[in-house]
């Protein structure tokens, strides 16, 4: 059953449309990430869901009830912000209890819920501290606990890890995934970080310029993207312009590959660097133009005429030198790409 239904939500600032009709369903217990570059409308959408921003049109339904006309406190949604947004003059315990008190949750139940959340967010021992007496990571764990303690129908996260350093970000990301597994709350998580989205999500919603570009599981979107934008934004890829005839196309190095569907004429395909194999070959079509040895992986760029191709190779082979002639071989499925963004903007 769908817990959250977003139906044709739009947002205009004067003449500028920052959200084109956005529709999205999230199932109960699902962890869905909205992934897109800075400025694409992620925070605008979350703020509209939370009720702290107003939509220009559309509807929001949560747990079978229309909520877009309700004030934030009546929506049964909690949000975790990038900036933590803790109450600075309240202790950790008071920060955690504030929302429950507002909701008139009885005192003994309040104590029980706070006690539980201190455990699952690993905050025991910090109860009496003020926010300024905590590290960034600890503050974000308090912000997380303050949202979780409300036991909302929907948890929203707006780039909650992006103010933390890389190591802390990794560790808090693991904590978040473990927490979600434990409490199973329906979650909508916003990030511009594709690695974060891939590692955490049941499904990813790729967004750009106020539009949903494509939705799928991390595996689907990485292995078989349908849109140019998705192929480019998730991981590294080579976007190659090829000529299709029927179900075949010829890659720049002469290899004929099978396409996943029929096409004719000029098309674009995405070829991941790790699906291209490079071999030293005096008669090869490619010339190695750069080599970066990164331990488990060697990154190459190679040129075939005017086309530059990225290749990544793992498995401990001896690196080829710059300037070497090589042959390339692609192994894997070739997916035709569409460019919906360009079509819709036209």
Question: Which parts of this chain interact with ligand ADP (CB under 6 A)?
Answer: 13, 18, 36, 38-44
Counting Cα atoms < 13 Å in the Cβ hemisphere of 304 gives 18
DSSP 152-211: -SEEEEESTTTTS-HHHHHHHHHHHHHHHHHH---EEEEES-HHHHHHH-SEEEEEETTE
Question: Residues 6 or more apart from 119 whose CB is under 8 A from it?
Answer: none
DSSP 243-269: EEEEEEEE-TTS-EEEEEEEEEEEEEE
Contact string (CB under 5 A) for Mg ion, positions 20-59, x = contact:
-----------------------x----------------
How, if at all, do strands 286-293 and 297-304 pair? antiparallel
In the bound state with ligand ADP, the residue whose beta carbon lies nearer, of 38 and 306, is 38
Counting Cα atoms < 13 Å in the Cβ hemisphere of 55 gives 25
In the bound state with ligand ADP, the residue whose beta carbon lies nearer, of 40 and 142, is 40
Determine phi and psi for 284, rounding to 5 degrees.
-70, 165
In the bound state with ligand ADP, the residue whose beta carbon lies nearer, of 210 and 273, is 210
Q: What does the angle CA 47 – CA 53 – CA 56 come to, to the nearest 5 degrees?
A: 115
Residue 6's binding partner, choosing from ligand ADP, Mg ion, none, with beta-carbon cut-off 5 to 8 A by kind? none
CB of 24 to ligand ADP, least distance (A): 15
Q: Are 174 and 168 in contact (CB under 8 A)?
A: no
In the bound state with Mg ion, the residue whose beta carbon lies nearer, of 43 and 312, is 43
CB of 38 to Mg ion, least distance (A): 7
Residue 15's binding partner, choosing from Mg ion, ligand ADP, none, with beta-carbon cut-off 5 to 8 A by kind? none
CB of 120 to ligand ADP, least distance (A): 28
Residue 339's binding partner, choosing from Mg ion, ligand ADP, none, with beta-carbon cut-off 5 to 8 A by kind? none
Residue 87's binding partner, choosing from ligand ADP, Mg ion, none, with beta-carbon cut-off 5 to 8 A by kind? none
Residue 334's binding partner, choosing from ligand ADP, Mg ion, none, with beta-carbon cut-off 5 to 8 A by kind? none
CB of 163 to Mg ion, least distance (A): 12
Residue 2 to residue 32: CA distance in whole angstroms: 12
CB of 244 to ligand ADP, least distance (A): 35
Binding site for Mg ion (CB under 5 A): 43
């Amino acid at each position: 059953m769908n817990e959250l239904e977003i139906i044709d939500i739009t947002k205009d600032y004067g003449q500028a449309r920052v959200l084109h009709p956005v529709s999205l369903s999230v199932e109960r217990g699902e962890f869905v990430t909205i992934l897109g570059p800075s400025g694409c409308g992620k925070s605008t959408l979350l703020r509209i869901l939370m009720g702290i921003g107003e939509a220009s049109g559309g509807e929001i339904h949560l747990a079978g009830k229309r909520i877009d006309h309700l004030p934030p406190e009546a929506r049964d949604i909690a949000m975790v912000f990038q900036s933590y947004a803790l109450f600075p003059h309240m202790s950790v315990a008071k920060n955690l209890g504030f929302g429950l008190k507002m909701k008139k949750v009885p005192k003994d139940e309040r104590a029980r819920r706070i006690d539980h959340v201190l455990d699952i967010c690993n905050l025991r021992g910090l109860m009496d501290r003020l926010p300024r007496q905590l590290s960034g990571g600890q503050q974000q764990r308090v912000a997380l606990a303050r949202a979780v303690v409300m036991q909302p129908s929907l948890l929203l996260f707006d780039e909650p890890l992006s103010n933390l350093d890389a190591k802390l970000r990794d560790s808090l990301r693991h904590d978040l995934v473990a927490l979600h597994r434990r409490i199973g709350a329906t979650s909508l998580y916003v990030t511009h970080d594709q690695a974060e989205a891939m590692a955490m999500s049941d499904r990813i919603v790729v967004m750009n310029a106020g539009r949903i570009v494509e939705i799928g599981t991390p595996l689907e979107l990485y292995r078989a993207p349908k849109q140019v934008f998705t192929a480019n934004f998730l991981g590294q890829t080579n976007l190659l312009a090829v000529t299709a005839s029927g179900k075949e196309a010829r890659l720049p190095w002469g290899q004929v590959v099978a396409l996943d569907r029929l096409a004719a004429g000029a098309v674009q395909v995405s070829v991941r660097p790790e699906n291209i194999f490079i071999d030293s070959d005096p008669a090869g079509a490619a010339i190695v133009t750069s080599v970066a040895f990164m331990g488990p992986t060697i990154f190459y760029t190679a040129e075939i005429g005017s086309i530059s191709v990225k290749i990544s190779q793992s498995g401990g082979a001896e690196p080829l030198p710059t300037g070497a002639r090589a042959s390339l071989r692609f192994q894997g499925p070739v997916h035709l790409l569409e460019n919906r963004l360009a079509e819709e903007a036209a």
